Amino acid sequence: MPVFFLMVAGTIQFGHIYTSLIVLRSASAVAARAAVLGTNQNATQVCNAARGALNSQFDPSLLECTTSPVSLPVASGTQVTVTVAYPVPLFSVGSSVIPGSVWRLTTETTMQ
């Protein structure tokens, strides 16, 4: 029974982390698209686009966002890379079991 419980808990944790990764990938893609297509979008506005793409599970204030190049807007045809990172708590089912344990997920999207 303990092994079965650990397998179920591990499956739930993997699903939570993988779902978080998909949401973060989407957020970085939305931000990169805003940087490339937006007119006069600065880095703050691009990162706010990433924060706006998060669903209600995420606290937008915890999202770390960087752009490369750092100064935006850029000339047409220039590549822009947006990197987002978010601390995902480990063992989301009863997070008091491992207090303070997080896995920092990072995704990056480059568009031209």
| Residue-wise DSSP of the chain | -HHHHHHHHHHHHHHHHHHHHHHHHHHHHHHHHHHHHSSS--HHHHHHHHHHTS-TTS-GGG-EEEEESSS----TT--EEEEEEEEEESS-TTGGGSTT-EEEEEEEEEE-
pLDDT band at 87 (very low <50, low <70, confident <90, very high): very high
pLDDT band at 85 (very low <50, low <70, confident <90, very high): very high
**Angle of the 2-37 helix axis to the 43-52 helix axis, nearest 10:** 140
Which tens digit of pLDDT belongs to each residue from 16-73? Answer: 899 999 999 999 999 999 888 877 788 899 999 999 999 888 999 999 999 988 888 8
- Return left, alpha or beta for 41; rule: phi > 0 is left, psi -120 to 50 is alpha, else beta: beta
